[in-house]
Amino acid sequence: MYRKMDDFLKDWKNEEEFTLKIFSLISVEAKTEQVHEHVRALDRLAWHLTQTITEMGKRAGLLADDLLEHQAIPETMNEIAEIYKTNSGLLCRAVRLKWTDSSLEDLVPMYGDEWMKGKILQILLLHQTHHRGQMTVIMRILGLPVPGLYGPSKEEWIAMGLPAMD
């Protein structure tokens, strides 16, 4: 759970860059590829991450409306990335304007429960990380390059002239 706004905002900015890095590596051919009937396609996962910003933002009282709720998946990954960046920025501005360090322990009704505001921020970030992990597995299955986010990927180890870890 976050206890300092600046901690969340720094983490979110870093994670936003990781998310956009993943989005940028998804090819036109691969974005709608279904690897299994029970696994979302990459464009659907990217759009889910984007929509979650406004959906949770509205539920938490940070955003007035969930403007993405009924929007279809955009045609291109570039469009998804731009909408993601815009709404990520809106979320960060709302957090700065509406919440304070001292309010992060305040309770907010969320999904039939009550969550502290600091927990909402943590879950927003962890939810994104969870789905990015799914995306990298799908990318690997589809033969796309996988970026190192928290350390070098296999491709990055090899590019550095080092043996890739198995």
Domain annotation covers residue 105: yes
Domain annotation covers residue 166: no
pLDDT in single tens digits along all 166 residues of the chain: 999 999 999 999 999 999 999 999 999 999 999 999 999 999 999 999 999 999 999 999 999 999 999 999 999 999 999 999 999 999 999 999 999 999 999 999 999 999 999 999 999 999 999 999 999 999 999 999 999 999 998 888 888 988 877 7
pTM over 0.85: yes
Question: Which residue range(s) make up the domain with 108?
Answer: 5-159
39: tokens are: 């696994």
Annotated binding site for a divalent metal cation: 48, 127, 131
Domain annotation covers residue 120: yes
Structural domains counted in the chain: 1
Q: Which amino acid is at 13?
A: K
- CATH code of the domain covering residue 140: 1.20.120.450
| pLDDT at 105 (0 to 100) | 98
Annotated binding site: 48, 127, 131
161 SS3 class: coil
30: tokens are: 């691969």
Q: Phi, psi (5° rounding) for residue 27? A: -75, 160
Domain annotation covers residue 30: yes
Helix (H) or strand (E) holding 110: strand 107-110
| pLDDT at 97 (0 to 100) | 97
Domain annotation covers residue 165: no
Domain annotation covers residue 164: no
